Amino acid sequence: MPGVGSLCHHGRVTAVDRTHPIAVFDSGVGGLTVLHECLVWLPHEDFVYLGDTARFPYGGRDADDLRARSLAVARRLRDDGAKMIVVACNSATSAALPALRDELGDAVAVVGTVEPAARLAAAATRNGRVGLLATPATVASGAYARTLADVDLTSVACPKLAPLIQAGGELDSRVVALVDEYCEPLIAAGVDTVVLGCTHYPLVRAVLQRALGRGVTIVSSGQAIADEVERQLTERDIENDTDRRGSYRFVCSGDAGEFRALAARSLQLPVDGVERIDIEEYVGVAGRAA
């Protein structure tokens, strides 16, 4: 089956075809935690993963910058034939989801990270006290606070954690010390549920669970997003044939070799190759002619 890039090279794809791929994007390898769940639970679908590594990290950028960059990435993926775009980044979801849905309209479904994870957390908490570990951009956006308005939410911005995970080093004492520091306010607040509000964080889930204690439920968005993707595919009647084995491939805006090495360690599935692509031409473009 054709993947993204072979479906349309110039101009906008206007028809939704069930055989077209689902695109997943993030600024780095964190979104691979979402892709992994989608590959496991939707093995009949084709996927393309875009790592916008030239602009990593998203978490420290302001809302306008995030919105502009997310729109540029989405335009590229739309014009390359994606039937659905999964924004596998909490910072981008928080800043850009309404703008993405406005621009793409009914032509391309858009799934974000915040709402699926928030629903899981609201259902999981027993004492009504929920913690959030997220990037500064996600915390500042208030997206989780608005979605989890009925619980007592304690939010902690973790500016150093995603870059440390993205670097791909060993899980050493630096990671443990940083996780302990970020989890301390949540323990003090008596939370019984913690949302991992960055898709990088599940890559150090074991360290986080040890810091928080076994009585705290950790919620990450991967499984919830896979469920939401399946729901929207069915609702829109664009699910691929279930008796086939889907494909997946990778593109990035930065160094392809560096991304492949990081992805191979993070995905827990084979990463055969990575193509470097250009996104800059899509920045600030309001739309493209059909």
* Residues tagged active-site: 89, 198
Whether a cis peptide bond, with omega within 30° of 0, leads into 159 is no
Query: 3-state DSSP call for residue 241?
Result: coil
Q: Is 142 exposed, middle or buried (0-12, 13-18, 19+ CB in 10 A)?
A: exposed
Sign of CA dihedral 253, 254, 256, 259: negative
Q: At what angle do helices 32-41 and 222-236 cross, to 10 degrees?
A: 50
Q: Which two tokens stand for residue 164?
A: 């440390």
Q: Which two tokens stand for residue 212?
A: 């928080």
**How far from 187 is each of 78, 180, 193, CA to CA, in Å?**
43, 10, 10
**How far from 180 is each of 131, 177, 221, CA to CA, in Å?**
14, 5, 22
**Rounded CA separation 228/32 (Å):** 17
